[in-house]
């Protein structure tokens, strides 16, 4: 129930700020610290605001071994002119690395908001960024 409640709260608030976490804790009768621990553990949840398109590059072992994690991250940092943890000035893209997106058989992978993209190469990443920028 905690995960579902956090997902709904994130949809309502845009991210899991202090108020959202407190409301979830109150509704479920749980300590705020427990709800916050859960929210901060999963890469699907954001305790800080993110850009319109939040890009999460998988840095798990499978993605790292197939030369994806660092290569994709460095490429996106250069293309978007930001570092991990930052947001583009127009608020369109934010970028971070996460430990696992559970796409080991089709790595390298990244997630944009709630959508997973796998079996990536730089050309696919370019097309995706261009498509998102046009929306």
Per-residue pLDDT tens over the stretch 6-64: 999 999 998 999 999 999 999 999 999 999 999 998 888 988 888 999 999 999 888 88
Q: What is the pLDDT of residue 83?
A: 95
Residue 40 phi, psi (nearest 5): -80, -15
Percent of the chain with pLDDT strictly greater than 70:
100
List of long-range contacts for 123-131, beta carbons under 8 Å, 24+ apart: 125/72, 125/75, 125/76, 125/79, 126/79, 129/76, 129/79, 129/80, 129/93
Which of 28-32, 67-71, 109-113 comes out lowest in average pLDDT? 67-71
Does the pLDDT value for residue 67 go beyond 90? no
DSSP state of 47: S
In this prediction the pTM is 0.83
Distance of alpha carbon 38 from alpha carbon 94, whole angstroms: 22
108 prior amide bond cis, ω within 30: yes
């Amino acid at each position: 129930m905690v995960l579902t409640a956090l997902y709904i709260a994130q949809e309502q608030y845009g991210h899991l700020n202090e108020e959202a976490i407190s409301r979830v804790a109150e509704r479920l009768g749980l300590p705020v610290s427990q709800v916050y621990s859960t929210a901060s553990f999963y890469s699907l949840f954001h305790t800080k605001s993110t850009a319109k398109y939040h890009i999460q590059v998988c840095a798990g072992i499978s993605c790292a071994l197939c030369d994806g994690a660092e290569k994709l991250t460095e490429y996106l940092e250069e293309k978007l002119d930001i570092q991990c943890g930052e947001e583009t000035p127009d608020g369109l893209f934010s970028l971070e690395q996460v430990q696992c997106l559970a796409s080991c058989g089709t790595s390298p992978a990244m997630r944009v908001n709630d959508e997973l993209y796998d079996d990536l190469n730089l050309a696919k990443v370019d097309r995706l960024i261009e498509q998102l920028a046009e929306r």
